[in-house]
Amino acid sequence: MAKAIKKQALGRGLSALLNDDGSSHSHASKSAAQFVALSLDQIKVNPYQPRTRFSESALKELESSIKALGLIQPITVRETKDGYYELVSGERRYRASKNIGLKEIPAYIRSANDQELLEMALVENIQRQDLDPIEIALTYQRLLEDVSLSITELGDRLGKDRTTITNYLRLLKLDPLIQSGMRDGFISMGHGRSLINIEHTEDQLALYEEILDKKLFPMTLGGEHSITPGCIVPFTKKYKNICLLHFDAHADLRQSYNGEKFSHASAIRRCLDYKNVSLISFGIRNISESEIPFLKTNSSRINIFWAKDKKKWNLSKFKKLIKNKTVYLTFDVDGLDSSIMPATGTPEPGGLLWDETLDIIRIAAKNSKIVGADINELSPIKGFNSYNFLVAKLAYKILSYKFLY
Protein backbone atom coordinates (compact mmCIF):
# COMPACT_ATOMS: atom_id res chain seq x y z
CA MET A 1 0.00 0.00 0.00
CA ALA A 2 1.27 3.46 -0.87
CA LYS A 3 1.83 5.71 2.14
CA ALA A 4 1.82 9.46 1.69
CA ILE A 5 5.01 11.15 2.90
CA LYS A 6 4.47 14.23 5.04
CA LYS A 7 5.31 17.61 3.62
CA GLN A 8 8.11 18.33 6.09
CA ALA A 9 10.07 15.36 4.73
CA LEU A 10 10.17 16.86 1.28
CA GLY A 11 12.19 20.01 1.73
CA ARG A 12 11.47 23.30 0.05
CA GLY A 13 12.93 22.43 -3.36
CA LEU A 14 11.06 19.15 -3.64
CA SER A 15 7.80 20.73 -2.53
CA ALA A 16 8.17 23.31 -5.28
CA LEU A 17 8.89 20.60 -7.81
CA LEU A 18 5.71 18.71 -6.88
CA ASN A 19 3.53 21.81 -6.48
CA ASP A 20 2.86 20.56 -2.94
CA ASP A 21 0.21 22.60 -1.19
CA GLY A 22 0.43 20.83 2.14
CA SER A 23 -2.16 18.13 1.43
CA SER A 24 -1.27 14.45 1.23
CA HIS A 25 -2.72 11.81 -1.10
CA SER A 26 -2.54 8.05 -1.37
CA HIS A 27 -3.39 7.82 -5.06
CA ALA A 28 -1.96 9.38 -8.21
CA SER A 29 -3.56 12.56 -9.41
CA LYS A 30 -4.27 13.13 -13.06
CA SER A 31 -2.68 16.55 -12.94
CA ALA A 32 0.37 16.24 -10.69
CA ALA A 33 2.85 13.72 -9.35
CA GLN A 34 2.30 12.45 -5.79
CA PHE A 35 5.12 11.68 -3.37
CA VAL A 36 4.67 8.46 -1.39
CA ALA A 37 6.48 5.52 0.21
CA LEU A 38 5.88 2.34 -1.79
CA SER A 39 6.47 -1.26 -0.86
CA LEU A 40 9.15 -2.70 -3.17
CA ASP A 41 6.89 -5.74 -3.68
CA GLN A 42 4.33 -3.48 -5.34
CA ILE A 43 6.74 -2.29 -8.03
CA LYS A 44 7.29 -3.79 -11.49
CA VAL A 45 10.16 -2.90 -13.81
CA ASN A 46 9.47 -0.82 -16.88
CA PRO A 47 8.87 -3.04 -19.95
CA TYR A 48 10.07 -0.13 -22.10
CA GLN A 49 13.37 0.26 -20.21
CA PRO A 50 15.93 1.15 -22.91
CA ARG A 51 18.88 0.33 -20.65
CA THR A 52 19.88 -3.32 -20.96
CA ARG A 53 23.13 -3.32 -18.96
CA PHE A 54 23.67 -2.40 -15.34
CA SER A 55 27.23 -2.22 -14.02
CA GLU A 56 27.62 -4.47 -10.99
CA SER A 57 30.37 -2.28 -9.50
CA ALA A 58 28.27 0.88 -9.94
CA LEU A 59 25.31 -0.91 -8.36
CA LYS A 60 27.45 -1.90 -5.36
CA GLU A 61 28.57 1.73 -4.96
CA LEU A 62 24.95 2.86 -5.03
CA GLU A 63 24.02 0.23 -2.44
CA SER A 64 26.76 1.53 -0.12
CA SER A 65 25.59 5.11 -0.65
CA ILE A 66 21.98 4.22 0.18
CA LYS A 67 23.09 2.38 3.33
CA ALA A 68 25.09 5.40 4.48
CA LEU A 69 22.89 8.30 3.39
CA GLY A 70 19.54 6.86 2.41
CA LEU A 71 17.96 7.28 -1.01
CA ILE A 72 18.46 10.92 -1.98
CA GLN A 73 16.51 10.86 -5.26
CA PRO A 74 13.11 9.09 -5.31
CA ILE A 75 12.07 6.81 -8.16
CA THR A 76 9.16 7.67 -10.48
CA VAL A 77 6.33 5.20 -11.14
CA ARG A 78 2.87 5.01 -12.64
CA GLU A 79 -0.07 3.12 -11.17
CA THR A 80 -1.31 0.11 -13.18
CA LYS A 81 -4.81 -1.34 -13.45
CA ASP A 82 -3.90 -4.41 -11.35
CA GLY A 83 -2.95 -2.27 -8.35
CA TYR A 84 0.81 -2.42 -8.88
CA TYR A 85 3.22 0.36 -9.83
CA GLU A 86 5.42 0.38 -12.92
CA LEU A 87 8.81 2.10 -12.99
CA VAL A 88 9.15 5.18 -15.16
CA SER A 89 12.69 5.97 -13.99
CA GLY A 90 15.06 4.80 -11.28
CA GLU A 91 15.59 1.10 -11.95
CA ARG A 92 19.15 1.20 -10.53
CA ARG A 93 17.83 2.81 -7.34
CA TYR A 94 15.08 0.19 -7.18
CA ARG A 95 17.51 -2.70 -7.69
CA ALA A 96 20.01 -1.37 -5.15
CA SER A 97 17.29 -0.82 -2.54
CA LYS A 98 16.00 -4.34 -3.07
CA ASN A 99 19.51 -5.82 -2.87
CA ILE A 100 20.18 -4.31 0.56
CA GLY A 101 16.86 -5.52 1.94
CA LEU A 102 14.80 -2.33 2.08
CA LYS A 103 11.04 -2.87 2.27
CA GLU A 104 9.92 0.54 1.04
CA ILE A 105 11.19 3.21 -1.31
CA PRO A 106 10.21 6.89 -1.78
CA ALA A 107 8.50 7.45 -5.11
CA TYR A 108 6.66 9.95 -7.24
CA ILE A 109 3.46 8.55 -8.72
CA ARG A 110 2.36 10.16 -11.93
CA SER A 111 -0.22 9.42 -14.58
CA ALA A 112 1.09 8.23 -17.96
CA ASN A 113 -0.17 6.09 -20.83
CA ASP A 114 2.08 3.57 -22.60
CA GLN A 115 3.26 6.11 -25.18
CA GLU A 116 4.10 8.69 -22.49
CA LEU A 117 5.79 6.01 -20.36
CA LEU A 118 8.04 5.03 -23.24
CA GLU A 119 8.98 8.62 -24.03
CA MET A 120 9.67 9.49 -20.37
CA ALA A 121 11.82 6.40 -19.91
CA LEU A 122 13.80 7.09 -23.08
CA VAL A 123 14.34 10.78 -22.40
CA GLU A 124 15.32 10.14 -18.75
CA ASN A 125 17.74 7.46 -19.90
CA ILE A 126 19.43 9.59 -22.55
CA GLN A 127 20.28 12.29 -19.96
CA ARG A 128 22.61 9.90 -18.09
CA GLN A 129 26.33 10.56 -18.45
CA ASP A 130 27.47 6.91 -18.31
CA LEU A 131 25.76 5.57 -21.43
CA ASP A 132 27.87 3.98 -24.13
CA PRO A 133 27.52 5.29 -27.72
CA ILE A 134 25.39 2.35 -28.87
CA GLU A 135 22.94 2.78 -25.98
CA ILE A 136 22.59 6.44 -26.95
CA ALA A 137 22.09 5.53 -30.62
CA LEU A 138 19.44 2.89 -29.81
CA THR A 139 17.60 5.36 -27.57
CA TYR A 140 17.59 7.98 -30.32
CA GLN A 141 16.30 5.36 -32.75
CA ARG A 142 13.45 4.34 -30.43
CA LEU A 143 12.45 7.95 -29.86
CA LEU A 144 12.31 8.47 -33.63
CA GLU A 145 10.43 5.26 -34.41
CA ASP A 146 8.27 4.44 -31.37
CA VAL A 147 7.45 7.98 -30.28
CA SER A 148 7.21 9.14 -33.92
CA LEU A 149 9.50 12.14 -33.59
CA SER A 150 11.43 13.71 -36.44
CA ILE A 151 15.17 14.32 -35.99
CA THR A 152 14.44 18.05 -35.67
CA GLU A 153 11.77 17.44 -32.98
CA LEU A 154 14.11 15.08 -31.15
CA GLY A 155 16.90 17.62 -31.24
CA ASP A 156 14.60 20.32 -29.86
CA ARG A 157 13.49 18.11 -26.95
CA LEU A 158 16.99 17.02 -26.02
CA GLY A 159 18.88 20.20 -26.84
CA LYS A 160 21.01 18.36 -29.42
CA ASP A 161 21.84 19.46 -32.93
CA ARG A 162 20.88 17.36 -35.96
CA THR A 163 24.51 16.42 -36.74
CA THR A 164 25.10 14.96 -33.27
CA ILE A 165 21.98 12.79 -33.46
CA THR A 166 22.79 11.64 -37.01
CA ASN A 167 26.36 10.69 -36.05
CA TYR A 168 25.07 8.44 -33.27
CA LEU A 169 22.41 6.85 -35.49
CA ARG A 170 25.01 5.98 -38.12
CA LEU A 171 26.78 3.76 -35.57
CA LEU A 172 23.86 1.34 -35.83
CA LYS A 173 24.96 0.54 -39.39
CA LEU A 174 28.09 -1.13 -38.02
CA ASP A 175 28.31 -4.90 -37.75
CA PRO A 176 26.86 -6.17 -34.41
CA LEU A 177 30.31 -7.45 -33.40
CA ILE A 178 31.78 -3.96 -33.74
CA GLN A 179 28.81 -2.45 -31.88
CA SER A 180 29.42 -4.94 -29.07
CA GLY A 181 33.10 -3.95 -28.93
CA MET A 182 32.11 -0.31 -28.62
CA ARG A 183 29.66 -1.11 -25.82
CA ASP A 184 32.34 -3.02 -23.95
CA GLY A 185 34.81 -0.15 -24.29
CA PHE A 186 37.28 -1.94 -26.59
CA ILE A 187 36.98 0.80 -29.22
CA SER A 188 35.85 4.40 -29.01
CA MET A 189 33.07 6.21 -30.85
CA GLY A 190 35.80 7.84 -32.95
CA HIS A 191 36.94 4.40 -34.09
CA GLY A 192 33.35 3.50 -34.90
CA ARG A 193 32.75 6.61 -36.96
CA SER A 194 35.88 5.85 -38.97
CA LEU A 195 34.81 2.25 -39.57
CA ILE A 196 31.40 3.37 -40.89
CA ASN A 197 33.11 4.99 -43.86
CA ILE A 198 34.50 1.62 -44.97
CA GLU A 199 32.09 0.24 -47.55
CA HIS A 200 32.28 -3.53 -47.04
CA THR A 201 31.45 -5.21 -43.74
CA GLU A 202 34.29 -7.72 -44.05
CA ASP A 203 36.76 -4.84 -44.40
CA GLN A 204 35.25 -3.13 -41.35
CA LEU A 205 35.66 -6.31 -39.32
CA ALA A 206 39.22 -6.82 -40.50
CA LEU A 207 40.20 -3.31 -39.39
CA TYR A 208 38.31 -3.77 -36.12
CA GLU A 209 40.36 -6.88 -35.35
CA GLU A 210 43.54 -4.98 -36.25
CA ILE A 211 42.62 -2.18 -33.82
CA LEU A 212 42.12 -4.72 -31.04
CA ASP A 213 45.22 -6.77 -31.87
CA LYS A 214 47.62 -3.87 -32.25
CA LYS A 215 45.97 -1.66 -29.62
CA LEU A 216 46.11 1.26 -32.03
CA PHE A 217 46.22 4.80 -30.66
CA PRO A 218 42.86 6.62 -31.04
CA MET A 219 42.99 10.32 -31.85
CA THR A 220 39.80 12.31 -32.50
CA LEU A 221 40.06 15.52 -34.54
CA GLY A 222 37.52 18.28 -34.93
CA GLY A 223 34.28 19.34 -33.33
CA GLU A 224 33.87 21.31 -30.14
CA HIS A 225 35.10 20.30 -26.70
CA SER A 226 31.87 18.45 -25.87
CA ILE A 227 33.30 15.47 -27.80
CA THR A 228 35.77 14.68 -25.01
CA PRO A 229 33.41 13.10 -22.44
CA GLY A 230 32.35 10.58 -25.10
CA CYS A 231 35.90 9.92 -26.25
CA ILE A 232 37.14 9.17 -22.73
CA VAL A 233 34.43 6.63 -21.82
CA PRO A 234 36.24 3.49 -23.12
CA PHE A 235 39.35 4.45 -21.15
CA THR A 236 37.40 4.92 -17.91
CA LYS A 237 36.18 1.35 -18.33
CA LYS A 238 39.47 -0.18 -19.42
CA TYR A 239 41.81 1.41 -16.86
CA LYS A 240 41.53 1.56 -13.09
CA ASN A 241 42.61 5.22 -13.12
CA ILE A 242 42.99 7.70 -15.96
CA CYS A 243 44.60 11.15 -15.86
CA LEU A 244 43.14 13.78 -18.17
CA LEU A 245 45.89 16.08 -19.50
CA HIS A 246 43.93 19.17 -20.51
CA PHE A 247 45.07 22.17 -22.59
CA ASP A 248 42.56 25.01 -22.68
CA ALA A 249 41.90 28.69 -22.05
CA HIS A 250 38.81 27.75 -20.02
CA ALA A 251 38.31 25.40 -17.10
CA ASP A 252 35.12 23.85 -18.62
CA LEU A 253 33.99 22.82 -15.12
CA ARG A 254 30.47 24.23 -15.23
CA GLN A 255 27.68 21.87 -14.23
CA SER A 256 25.72 23.13 -17.25
CA TYR A 257 25.72 26.00 -19.71
CA ASN A 258 22.51 27.51 -21.10
CA GLY A 259 20.68 24.53 -19.60
CA GLU A 260 22.85 21.93 -21.37
CA LYS A 261 25.01 19.75 -19.12
CA PHE A 262 26.89 18.27 -22.08
CA SER A 263 27.96 21.70 -23.31
CA HIS A 264 31.52 22.53 -24.37
CA ALA A 265 31.67 24.63 -21.19
CA SER A 266 30.92 21.51 -19.13
CA ALA A 267 33.18 19.07 -20.98
CA ILE A 268 35.80 18.56 -18.26
CA ARG A 269 33.14 18.49 -15.52
CA ARG A 270 31.46 15.58 -17.36
CA CYS A 271 34.79 13.76 -17.60
CA LEU A 272 35.24 14.19 -13.85
CA ASP A 273 31.83 12.61 -13.25
CA TYR A 274 33.86 9.40 -13.52
CA LYS A 275 35.47 8.93 -10.13
CA ASN A 276 38.56 7.24 -11.59
CA VAL A 277 39.46 10.37 -13.61
CA SER A 278 41.95 12.97 -12.34
CA LEU A 279 42.87 16.23 -14.08
CA ILE A 280 45.96 18.25 -14.94
CA SER A 281 45.17 21.45 -16.85
CA PHE A 282 47.49 23.89 -18.61
CA GLY A 283 46.80 27.38 -19.90
CA ILE A 284 43.58 28.14 -18.01
CA ARG A 285 42.96 31.88 -17.87
CA ASN A 286 39.20 32.11 -17.80
CA ILE A 287 37.01 30.56 -15.09
CA SER A 288 33.50 31.48 -13.93
CA GLU A 289 32.47 31.98 -10.32
CA SER A 290 30.11 28.99 -10.53
CA GLU A 291 33.06 26.66 -11.20
CA ILE A 292 35.03 27.57 -8.06
CA PRO A 293 33.08 25.44 -5.52
CA PHE A 294 33.54 22.28 -7.61
CA LEU A 295 37.22 23.08 -8.06
CA LYS A 296 37.70 23.44 -4.29
CA THR A 297 35.69 20.33 -3.44
CA ASN A 298 37.70 18.22 -5.89
CA SER A 299 41.13 19.76 -5.29
CA SER A 300 42.62 16.35 -4.46
CA ARG A 301 42.24 15.22 -8.06
CA ILE A 302 42.57 18.53 -9.92
CA ASN A 303 45.85 20.33 -10.62
CA ILE A 304 45.78 23.52 -12.69
CA PHE A 305 48.81 25.32 -14.10
CA TRP A 306 47.24 28.77 -14.48
CA ALA A 307 48.30 30.85 -17.47
CA LYS A 308 48.84 33.93 -15.27
CA ASP A 309 51.54 32.01 -13.38
CA LYS A 310 53.31 30.76 -16.50
CA LYS A 311 56.64 32.37 -15.57
CA LYS A 312 56.55 30.50 -12.25
CA TRP A 313 55.55 27.08 -13.62
CA ASN A 314 57.59 24.25 -12.17
CA LEU A 315 57.55 21.51 -14.79
CA SER A 316 59.44 19.24 -12.39
CA LYS A 317 56.25 19.24 -10.33
CA PHE A 318 54.29 18.33 -13.45
CA LYS A 319 56.73 15.49 -14.16
CA LYS A 320 56.07 14.06 -10.68
CA LEU A 321 52.32 14.46 -11.07
CA ILE A 322 52.25 12.66 -14.41
CA LYS A 323 54.85 9.98 -13.57
CA ASN A 324 53.70 6.44 -14.51
CA LYS A 325 50.10 7.54 -15.00
CA THR A 326 47.75 6.39 -17.76
CA VAL A 327 46.92 9.60 -19.63
CA TYR A 328 44.27 10.81 -22.06
CA LEU A 329 45.25 14.11 -23.72
CA THR A 330 42.58 16.64 -24.69
CA PHE A 331 43.60 19.82 -26.48
CA ASP A 332 41.23 22.74 -27.02
CA VAL A 333 43.14 24.96 -29.45
CA ASP A 334 42.08 28.11 -27.63
CA GLY A 335 44.60 27.01 -25.00
CA LEU A 336 47.16 28.44 -27.41
CA ASP A 337 47.73 32.17 -27.31
CA SER A 338 45.45 34.11 -29.65
CA SER A 339 48.51 35.57 -31.41
CA ILE A 340 49.24 32.13 -32.91
CA MET A 341 45.70 30.64 -32.82
CA PRO A 342 42.90 33.11 -33.56
CA ALA A 343 41.02 30.43 -35.56
CA THR A 344 38.80 29.23 -32.72
CA GLY A 345 35.42 30.17 -31.29
CA THR A 346 36.79 31.89 -28.17
CA PRO A 347 40.40 33.06 -28.72
CA GLU A 348 42.06 34.35 -25.55
CA PRO A 349 45.29 36.34 -25.09
CA GLY A 350 47.87 35.22 -22.56
CA GLY A 351 47.94 31.59 -23.60
CA LEU A 352 50.45 28.89 -24.47
CA LEU A 353 53.10 29.40 -27.14
CA TRP A 354 54.34 26.67 -29.46
CA ASP A 355 57.61 25.60 -27.87
CA GLU A 356 56.33 25.56 -24.29
CA THR A 357 53.34 23.49 -25.42
CA LEU A 358 55.63 20.90 -26.98
CA ASP A 359 57.77 20.82 -23.81
CA ILE A 360 54.72 19.84 -21.74
CA ILE A 361 53.59 17.15 -24.18
CA ARG A 362 57.14 15.79 -24.41
CA ILE A 363 57.38 15.46 -20.61
CA ALA A 364 54.03 13.64 -20.57
CA ALA A 365 55.10 11.26 -23.33
CA LYS A 366 58.40 10.45 -21.61
CA ASN A 367 56.96 9.88 -18.14
CA SER A 368 53.48 8.45 -18.65
CA LYS A 369 51.44 6.18 -20.89
CA ILE A 370 49.33 8.30 -23.26
CA VAL A 371 46.51 6.06 -24.49
CA GLY A 372 44.39 8.48 -26.53
CA ALA A 373 43.92 12.10 -27.53
CA ASP A 374 41.61 14.63 -29.12
CA ILE A 375 42.14 18.08 -30.62
CA ASN A 376 39.08 20.29 -30.85
CA GLU A 377 37.59 23.78 -31.31
CA LEU A 378 39.42 24.68 -34.56
CA SER A 379 37.26 27.14 -36.50
CA PRO A 380 39.09 27.72 -39.82
CA ILE A 381 39.37 31.24 -41.18
CA LYS A 382 38.92 31.35 -44.94
CA GLY A 383 42.16 32.22 -46.70
CA PHE A 384 44.38 31.65 -43.62
CA ASN A 385 45.55 28.04 -43.87
CA SER A 386 48.52 28.53 -41.55
CA TYR A 387 46.26 27.99 -38.51
CA ASN A 388 44.96 24.72 -39.96
CA PHE A 389 48.55 23.67 -40.59
CA LEU A 390 49.48 24.49 -36.99
CA VAL A 391 46.76 22.13 -35.69
CA ALA A 392 47.83 19.41 -38.14
CA LYS A 393 51.39 19.77 -36.92
CA LEU A 394 50.19 19.62 -33.30
CA ALA A 395 48.52 16.27 -34.06
CA TYR A 396 51.74 15.09 -35.73
CA LYS A 397 53.81 16.11 -32.69
CA ILE A 398 51.50 14.31 -30.25
CA LEU A 399 51.73 11.13 -32.32
CA SER A 400 55.49 11.51 -32.74
CA TYR A 401 56.14 11.87 -29.02
CA LYS A 402 53.70 9.08 -28.20
CA PHE A 403 55.56 6.54 -30.33
CA LEU A 404 59.07 7.97 -29.98
CA TYR A 405 59.37 7.78 -26.18
Helix, coil or strand: residue 89: strand
What spatial distance separates the first Cα and last Cα of the chain, rounded to whole Å?
65
Sheet with 43-44, side-by-side order of all strands: 3-4, 34-39, 104-109, 75-79, 85-89, 43-44
Most distant pair of Cα atoms in the chain: their distance? 71
Given a contact cutoff of 8 angstroms between Cβ atoms, the answer to whether 30 and 111 are in contact is yes
Given a contact cutoff of 8 angstroms between Cβ atoms, the answer to whether 50 and 115 are in contact is no
Q: Does residue 104 have an active-site annotation?
A: no
Single out the catalytic residue among 63, 91, 119, 135: 91
Given a contact cutoff of 8 angstroms between Cβ atoms, the answer to whether 359 and 404 are in contact is no
Radius of gyration of the chain (CA): 24
User: What pairing do the DSSP bridges indicate for beta strands 104-109 and 34-39?
Assistant: antiparallel
What are the residues facing 277 on neighbouring strands? 242
CA distances (Å), origin 52, targets 41, 56, 89, 135, 138:
22, 13, 14, 8, 11
C-alpha neighbours within 13 Å on the C-beta side of residue 39: 6
C-alpha neighbours within 13 Å on the C-beta side of residue 81: 2
Angle, to 10 degrees, between the axis of helix 56-69 and the axis of helix 91-99?
70
Angle, to 10 degrees, between the axis of helix 162-170 and the axis of helix 151-158?
110
Given a contact cutoff of 8 angstroms between Cβ atoms, the answer to whether 38 and 26 are in contact is no
CA nearest to 75, candidates 83, 57, 66: 66
Given a contact cutoff of 8 angstroms between Cβ atoms, the answer to whether 364 and 327 are in contact is yes
The residues annotated as belonging to the active site are 91
